[in-house]
């Protein structure tokens, strides 16, 4: 095992034995759903940087996999929608983290009459070698783990998720990203990397790692402020701003003309007709925004029409639109 993976293991062993409220800095409010109570210990062990769980991914009782379990909060949220024995598989490489989440599920059972610990099947395993069969998962998730991995390991971890997903299955993720270059001292600081502070990639590189693995559709669902690395407290001469994103990568076949990447752009036709049809599958109703992927935006813009407006990427894509 590389040194930084050993450091990561030790950081999360410690975080399992002694919950560390400030370890990862999510600003997502705690979920409020009828009958769902998140035990305080799970909130204290929320080591994520966003949310990966969304009701729209969870229709038809999907078989769900969650890699890097933490205190089990998101596993409980997935189980809320699934409510079946073994419906959610949780994988983690740190024994102490598996044990902590197991204990937290017992507390969750006491607080949630609908929940049984056996809804979650906890397994020891590594993100880079998942103990899960090929093509067996509908929804796979990870929160704030993949940003820790260096390039080769990230490639392996994404390939593993791709392998275990069924065709059209989806990988939902939250990770820190950073558009500024980071110096080598930061990049090579194993502890800062393990703490999800110095491994983050620019969004375009993160997305490329997913499309290189074969995911044909990418949705960037949210982009939020995450952390600051300042020269007083970190080995950097400039202030570094880190964001976190929520992304879904869908195992759709790769289109011949490249992946569909939705970053929250829309096109609005405002011409003289009731609609505009580019005869390539894109129909814009007058004055109705149509969500478009970046590829479609490029194709429509190249028409150089003066009656279509293109909005910038909002990084808040929530479904629908072209492709």
Ligand X SMILES: C[S@@+](CC[C@H](N)C(=O)[O-])C[C@H]1O[C@@H](n2cnc3c(N)ncnc32)[C@H](O)[C@@H]1O
Site for ligand X in 2-41 (CB under 6 A): 8, 12, 24
Choose the binding region for ligand X from 42-50, 176-184, 219-227, 257-265 (rule: CB under 6 A): 42-50
Buried b vs exposed e over 109-138: b needs ≥16 C-beta within 10 Å? beebeebebebbebeebbbbebebeeeebb
Beta strands in 206-239 (DSSP E): 217-229
Give the nearer residue to ligand X in terms of CB position, either 68 or 169: 68
Residue 90 tokens read as 């949780």
Beta strands in the chain (DSSP E): 64-67, 88-92, 120-124, 137-143, 165-177, 217-229, 240-250, 260-262, 265-269, 275-277, 283-285, 290-292, 308-310
Residue 82 binding ligand X, by CB under 6 A: no
Q: Are 116 and 75 in contact, with CB atoms under 8 Å apart? A: no
Residue 177 binding ligand X, by CB under 6 A: no
Closest contact distance (angstroms) between CB of 46 and ligand X is 5
Give the nearer residue to ligand X in terms of CB position, either 74 or 190: 74
- Choice from 70, 90, 169, 199 touching ligand X (CB under 6 A): 70
Question: Cα–Cα distance between 87 and 200 in angstroms, integer?
Answer: 31
Choose the binding region for ligand X from 90-98, 160-168, 203-211, 297-305 (rule: CB under 6 A): 90-98
Choose the binding region for ligand X from 68-76, 180-188, 199-207, 290-298 (rule: CB under 6 A): 68-76
State the number of binding residues for ligand X (CB under 6 A).
22
Q: Are 90 and 6 in contact, with CB atoms under 8 Å apart? A: no
Residue 144 binding ligand X, by CB under 6 A: yes
DSSP label of 202: -
Question: Cα–Cα distance between 23 and 40 in angstroms, integer?
Answer: 16
Residue 248 binding ligand X, by CB under 6 A: no
Closest contact distance (angstroms) between CB of 271 and ligand X is 47
Residue 276 binding ligand X, by CB under 6 A: no
Give the nearer residue to ligand X in terms of CB position, either 20 or 278: 20
- Choice from 79, 97, 201, 260 touching ligand X (CB under 6 A): 97
| β-strand partners of 223 | 245
Choose the binding region for ligand X from 45-53, 81-89, 214-222, 289-297 (rule: CB under 6 A): 45-53
Residue 196 binding ligand X, by CB under 6 A: yes
Count CB-CB contacts under 10 A for residue 258.
Answer: 13
Where on the phi/psi map is residue 287: left (φ > 0), alpha (ψ -120 to 50), or beta? left
Residue 92 binding ligand X, by CB under 6 A: yes
Residues 6+ apart with CB under 8 A from 4: 148, 150, 190, 193, 194
- Choice from 77, 143, 177, 244 touching ligand X (CB under 6 A): 143
Q: Are 184 and 155 in contact, with CB atoms under 8 Å apart? A: no
Closest contact distance (angstroms) between CB of 119 and ligand X is 17
Closest contact distance (angstroms) between CB of 49 and ligand X is 7
Closest contact distance (angstroms) between CB of 166 and ligand X is 21
Radius of gyration of the chain (CA): 21
Residue 126 binding ligand X, by CB under 6 A: yes
Residue 154 binding ligand X, by CB under 6 A: no
Interaction site with ligand X (CB under 6 A): 8, 12, 24, 46-48, 67-70, 74, 91-94, 97, 126-127, 143-145, 196
């Amino acid at each position: 095992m590389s040194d930084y993976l050993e450091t990561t293991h030790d950081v999360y062993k410690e975080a399992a034995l002694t919950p560390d409220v400030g370890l990862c800095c999510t600003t997502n409010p705690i979920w409020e759903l009828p009958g769902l109570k998140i035990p305080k210990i799970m909130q204290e062990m929320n080591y994520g940087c966003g949310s990966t769980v969304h009701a729209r991914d969870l229709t038809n009782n999907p078989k769900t996999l969650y890699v890097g379990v933490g205190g089990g909060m998101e596993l409980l949220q997935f189980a809320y929608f699934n409510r079946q024995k073994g419906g959610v598989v949780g994988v983690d490489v740190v024994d102490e983290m598996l044990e902590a989440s197991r204990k937290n599920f017992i507390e969750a059972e006491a607080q949630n009459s609908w929940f049984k610990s056996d809804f979650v099947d906890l397994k020891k395993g590594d993100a880079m070698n998942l103990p899960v069969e090929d093509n067996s998962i509908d929804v796979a998730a990870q929160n704030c783990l993949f940003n820790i991995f260096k390039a080769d390991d990230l490639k392996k971890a994404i390939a593993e998720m791709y392998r275990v997903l069924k065709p059209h299955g989806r990988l939902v993720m939250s990770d820190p990203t950073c558009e500024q270059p980071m110096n080598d001292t930061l990049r090579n600081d194993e502890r800062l990397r393990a703490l999800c502070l110095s491994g983050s990639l620019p969004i375009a590189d993160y997305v490329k790692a997913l499309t290189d693995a074969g995911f044909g559709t990418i949705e960037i669902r949210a982009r939020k402020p995450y952390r600051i690395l300042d020269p007083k407290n970190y080995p950097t001469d400039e202030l570094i701003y880190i964001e976190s994103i929520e992304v879904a990568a869908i195992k759709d076949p790769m289109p011949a003309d490249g992946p569909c990447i939705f970053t929250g752009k829309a096109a609005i036709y405002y011409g003289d007709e009731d609609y505009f049809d580019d005869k390539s599958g894109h129909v814009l109703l007058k004055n109705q925004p149509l969500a478009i992927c970046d590829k479609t935006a490029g194709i429509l813009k190249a028409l150089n029409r003066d009656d279509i407006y293109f909005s910038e990427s909002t990084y808040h894509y929530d479904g629908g639109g072209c492709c």
